[in-house]
Chains A and B, each alone.
Chain A
Amino acid sequence: MFAYYFDLAFRSLKRNKALTALMVLAIALGIGACMTTLTVLHVLSGDPLPQRSGSLYYPQIDPRDMVDYGPNVEPPEQLSWVDGMYLLHAKRAARQALMTGGMVPLQPTQSTVDPFQAVALYTSSDFFPMFGVPFKYGTGWVDTEDEGKARVAVISASLNDKLFGGKNSVGQVLRLQETAFRIIGVLGDWHPNPHFYEWYMGSYASDEDVYLPLTTARDLKMEHDGSTDCWGNSGGDPEHLETVNCTWLQFWVQLDTPASVADYKSFLEHYSQDQHTAGRFLRPPNVRLRNLMQWLDYLQVVPSDTRLQMWLSLGFLAVCLINTVGLMLAKFMRRASELSVRRALGASQRALFGQLLIESGVVGLLGGLGGLLLALFGLWLVRQQPADYAELARMDIAMLLTTLIIAVGASLIAGLLPAWRACHVAPALQLKGN
């Protein structure tokens, strides 16, 4: 029966090519636009570390003075050196890492490569195990190297390719800002998106070239990039960033159980209370402990233009679907005589309804396939844009299936009303007319 209905559907669609083409095209355009923007949104709001994101948390405390204080004011997005170092050394979480980004002049020993500004991340030893960073060669550094301000560096796979032709460079020397660093590790393939742990670099920007101990970077007075937010009368004098009233460090902790999350939150509150009592924090305790996905949500990393485009394309799909409902209605009503013959020959209303729905499903399938091609083209267009997320705009299997399901589902919904109306045709009356 199913096969027969398919056959009928194809025959009927072939009979009126212009109308069929119009319906398929409308669905294809709507689906194409929708899936392009949904794919971009899906990529941009994805989970950067699917296996770990549930146990990664971003603690915030509020060390500022009373200027601009009010109820429900959010704490600063970063930590000061004093607080960051305290929380880091307190080791109250399973793992914790303090970090900030910067640019550091790199003077290659290879004469073929000109000196350039390398993108650096200054962090602490837990960074690598906490985020599950894969290593191609060597390892990260350890606690004692953080404390000893060791001149050690971990480099990215792409920098290793550029400087050492992809060979194992562990033990080699890297000259950064006139200082010799020993390479102890080369990262494997690691590109979390969004670039969640240090978002001032750009949420979807390419990753760092070199990773250095934060203490070493401060020892060598390396430039720190990103935001430095100060309060009171302190300027962001980079020479004395350890002591000024400025927040400029980002801090992540790993908390594996709900109990440890609650413990950590009360630890933050106690710390804030102690500092408040001691007169260092002027505000009463004001802490937040968001997990990774909540943090990304809070930062609104997805560009507002992308969200606007998504809503626009949903509206567009709605218009295309209404258009298809209208055309389908016209098409089905026009076939009243054919349908009434089938009714007179014994087909039930339910059978007619099924037949017509299959016909709309076929339109949806064709429209979905067209929409898929349009979406692939749309994503190609997005990739030609200069936005930092452009390269990520690719369709995956999940989105591909979603496209087809949405297309068929939408056209079935669009076919409901026309099919319902058409299958109520009276068997005899229409026969009489001819």
Chain B
Amino acid sequence: MSLHPILAALRKHKAGVVLIALQIALTLAIVCNAVFIIYSRVEKVHRPTGIDESNLLLITQQWVGAPSMDTPAGVQQLDSMLRQDLDTLRRQPDVTSVTSITSLPLLNSSWVGGVAVKPGEQTPGKNDVHTAMYFGDEQMIGTLGLQIVEGRNFNASEIAHKGMRDQGEPPIVIVTQDLAKRLFPDGSAVGKVVYFDGSSTPSTIIGVVRRMQTPAVGWGDNFTWYSTLMPFRINATFSRYAVRTRPGQLDAVARTAAAALYNGNPLRVIDEDDGVKRFGDIRGDAYRADIGMAVLMGVVCLILLAVTAAGIVGLTSFWVGQRHRQIGVRRALGARKIDILHYFQLENLMIAGVGAVVGVVMAIGLNRLLMSKFEMQSLPVYYVLLGLLVVMVLGQIAVFVPARRASNVPPVVATRSV
């Protein structure tokens, strides 16, 4: 089929053609970027934290009338209260292990410091490696379900305790694989020495865990996987406990844990809503905004595509109505139904094609604009090509109904009132 008659006909409807092409272009540009945003959010939400997330609880509590955490005697007293709590929790039925801990991945409450391979390097700037520190005891690795890929876990005898504000670096630490590679790119980190927060006291790496996310949510993207485990019970007027339960017993333990702690020592506050949290809820809270954004983008994309399809149907229907008589003449002169159908399909393909090519350019431009104003990555080429394909197919689907109607115009129309 020759393109010439189609082009000639289109020249008579310049405004309509330009509008449809522009609409397709804009739709393509917006949908490509929106889908890319959806993909980035979904990818972020689904990445594993590195801990075993099922059957895990976090309890946060605060003692009332607690001794000062800034005197040695107060710290001793706080530590014995903390150990009493650990003991209480460990004796609960269906609890497999418990550790005191300062935070959990995605909790958005973090203890962040700098780590260096040389002593006394107070180096804010390029060489600074940030790390999120988790303070806990020898059951921390087991309770969180972390995988040791090299070296070993802490022994019970290596666990010390200190007041929350006391200075002092631990003699041994465990780091994540990512942090180990960042600090010691060539070879094993186990047995090597690092220095925290510009201190001159060395800390030896005794183990490496496969993966553990930091508590940061919505910030700290440059050190998401740089976590350090420190063998300390931290003594403060509040404390946190991570509790691993037997499979299926999470809810039962969550219901009774607070009561058990109150039973052991009533002088404390455990928040009714946030005091005892399942890890699933922590994850849900951390990513709720991202999921909301992804859903919103998805809905907008669907409506956009629907509106554009409806626009194509509307305008093509109008053209079919307008060319009723010409179609009749063509049919009378021997054109088959399929020829008429193909005519409209080809016409739409050309308009959508031009629109899509313009749309590709606009999609990339929009992506550059978004990258400059918001945190966004560069749009992969296959997204744009896929988007191009989608709008072309959408155009073909939308044009089918009016084109079918056109092909059903009987040749006899040609003979009526010219």
Residues in A lying within 8 Å of B, measured CB to CB: 19, 22, 26, 29, 33, 67-68, 105, 107, 114-117, 178, 233, 235, 237-239, 304-305, 307-309, 311-313, 315-316, 318-320, 322-323, 325-327, 329-331, 333-334, 385-387, 417, 421
Contact = CB atoms under 8 A, between A and B. Distances in A.
B322 interface: yes
Nearest to A19: B314
B315 A327 contact: yes
Interface in B53-85: 62, 64-65, 70
A81 B285 CA distance: 35
Given A29-B307, A105-B269, A334-B322, A326 B125 contact: no
Contacts of B152: none
A319 B23 contact: yes
A326 B19 contact: yes
A415 B210 CA distance: 62
Given A115-B269, A239-B165, A329-B19, A316 B304 contact: yes
A115 B64 contact: yes
Given A33-B300, A105-B62, A233-B198, A239 B70 contact: yes
Contacts of B26: 315, 318-319, 322
A291 B343 CA distance: 65
B30 A316 contact: yes
Interface string B105-148: 00000000000000000101100000000000000000000000
Contacts of B300: 33, 312-313, 316
A22 B310 contact: yes
B227 interface: no
Interface magnitude class on chain B:
35 or more
A417 B16 CA distance: 11
Interface of B: 15-16, 19-20, 22-23, 26-27, 29-30, 34, 37, 62, 64-65, 70, 122, 124-125, 165, 167, 197-198, 269, 271, 285, 288-289, 292-293, 296-297, 300, 303-304, 307-308, 310-311, 314-315, 317-319, 321-322, 366, 370, 373-375
B231 to A, nearest CB: 21
Contacts of A307: 373-374
Q: Nearest 4 CB-CB pairs, A to B?
A: A330-B318, A323-B311, A326-B19, A322-B23
B19 A319 contact: no
Contacts of A29: 303, 307
Contacts of B375: 304
A424 to B, nearest CB: 12
A404 to B, nearest CB: 21
A309 B30 CA distance: 12
B304 A319 contact: yes
B124 A67 contact: yes
Contact of A114 (B269, B304, B318): B269
A237 B303 CA distance: 55
Given A26-B310, A237-B165, A385-B288, 18 more contacts: A22-B314, A67-B124, A116-B271, A117-B62, A233-B198, A307-B373, A308-B293, A309-B293, A323-B308, A327-B314, A329-B19, A329-B315, A331-B318, A386-B288, A386-B289, A387-B289, A417-B15, A421-B15
Contacts, number: 116
B19 A116 contact: no
24 contacts: A26-B307, A26-B310, A67-B124, A68-B125, A116-B271, A117-B269, A233-B122, A233-B198, A238-B165, A307-B373, A307-B374, A308-B37, A311-B370, A312-B300, A316-B300, A319-B307, A323-B308, A323-B310, A326-B311, A329-B19, A330-B319, A333-B318, A333-B322, A417-B15
Contacts of B29: 315
Contacts of B64: 105, 107, 115
Contact of B167 (A235, A239, A312): A235
Nearest to A237: B165
Contacts of A331: 318
A326 B20 contact: yes
A237 B165 CA distance: 7
A330 B323 CA distance: 13
Contacts of A237: 165
A319 B27 CA distance: 7
Nearest to A434: B417
B62 A330 contact: no
A386 B34 CA distance: 22
Nearest to A320: B307
Contact of A323 (B122, B293, B307, B366): B307
B372 to A, nearest CB: 12
A312 B34 contact: yes
A102 to B, nearest CB: 13
Nearest to A67: B124
A319 B26 CA distance: 6
Q: Which of B23, B34, B165 has the most CB of A within 10 A?
A: B23
Given A29-B303, A330-B315, A322 B22 contact: yes
A133 B46 CA distance: 46
B23 A326 contact: yes
Given A29-B303, A309-B296, A319-B27, A334 B321 contact: yes
